[in-house]
Chains A and B, each alone.
Chain A
Amino acid sequence: MITKLINPFRYIAGGYSLMIGIVILFFTALIGFLSNTHFPDIISVKTSSDFPFNYHIFQIFSNWIIVSFILYIISIIASNSKVRIIDIFGTQALARFPYLIVSFIGFSSSLNNLGKNLTRQFIQQGEPVELSVFTIVIAISLIFITLFLTVWLIVLMYNAFKISANLKGYKSILLFIAGLIISIFLSGLISNLLIQA
């Protein structure tokens, strides 16, 4: 059961995972739009002001395409196996499932209120917000849940890369970290350009 949760790619890859993955990405964008949760790069999560639905769709899909493309380039350079592009893109799409769950966090106002309160306290901006103990507990719980889901996302992304590219050991870890850093930078850059546009 745990193997299926952290490494479903042993059983699912290629076109099947691509189809499921695209559905996951679409609903992540839709729920993110409804809850005002967005993903400014491949691992960041933010709850902020209203963005149009197109923005959510573009952001979610560009995050996936960027990380998949970077990992595909790394795979064809570093792997001795014949790497299929559909495996990389399909498994990376499916790996983004934890962020479908994360997209619900914006429905709770606790995180926003905690953010506003901290902004008021530390940089004296915005209106003062009263926080109940319940709101603080909910907000901290949501932070930990998001953190846990982010770790799950990265584990899934790594396992997807490892299986699709047939890479092992330190080589796979170092290449994945390099790919992840490049993807975070590029996806963040594209998100910023999108917001400015």
Chain B
Amino acid sequence: MNKKLPISCPSCSSELKVQSLRCDSCETTINGFYNLPLLLLLEQKEQDFIIDFIQSSGSLKIMAQKLKLSYPTVRNMLDELIQKIKNLQPKIS
């Protein structure tokens, strides 16, 4: 089963933080208080878009062909994502 990482609190919808990390090999557990990385704050489809974009060598034309969408549609999706990342950056810094 592909488990989805929760990024917001199911109770109050606030952004969740990382409290604990565990090593599967030696069973060491680190406790702390960490922000989620910026990429994990994006929705799954947005993360997929970024991965596709990198795999397409940053070419919107190739992305448009892959997604079977027009060039301006894909460019608009990228621009929206850039704006969303800009809005998220002050939260995590």
Contact surface of A with B, Cβ cutoff 8 Å:
9-14, 17, 80-82, 84, 87, 91, 163-164, 166
Contact = CB atoms under 8 A, between A and B. Distances in A.
B59 interface: no
Contacts of A84: 71-72
Contacts of A82: 75
Contacts of B73: 9-11, 13, 163
Contacts of A12: 70
B75 A81 contact: yes
B76 interface: yes
Contacts of B75: 81-82, 166
B70 A81 contact: no
B79 A9 contact: no
Q: In terms of DSSP, what is the predominant structure of the interface of chain B?
A: helix
A166 B72 CA distance: 8
B69 A163 contact: no
Interface of B: 68-73, 75-76, 79
B76 A13 contact: no
Contacts of A81: 75-76, 79
B73 to A, nearest CB: 5
Nearest to A9: B70
A5 to B, nearest CB: 15
A162 to B, nearest CB: 9
A164 B72 contact: yes
24 contacts: A9-B70, A9-B73, A10-B69, A10-B70, A11-B68, A11-B69, A11-B70, A12-B70, A13-B70, A13-B71, A13-B72, A14-B70, A14-B71, A80-B79, A81-B79, A84-B71, A84-B72, A87-B72, A91-B72, A163-B70, A163-B72, A164-B72, A166-B72, A166-B76
B71 A87 contact: yes
B69 A166 contact: no
Contacts of A17: 70
B67 to A, nearest CB: 10
Contacts of A11: 68-70, 73
A78 to B, nearest CB: 14
Greatest chain A CB density within 10 A among B68, B69, B70, B71 is at: B70
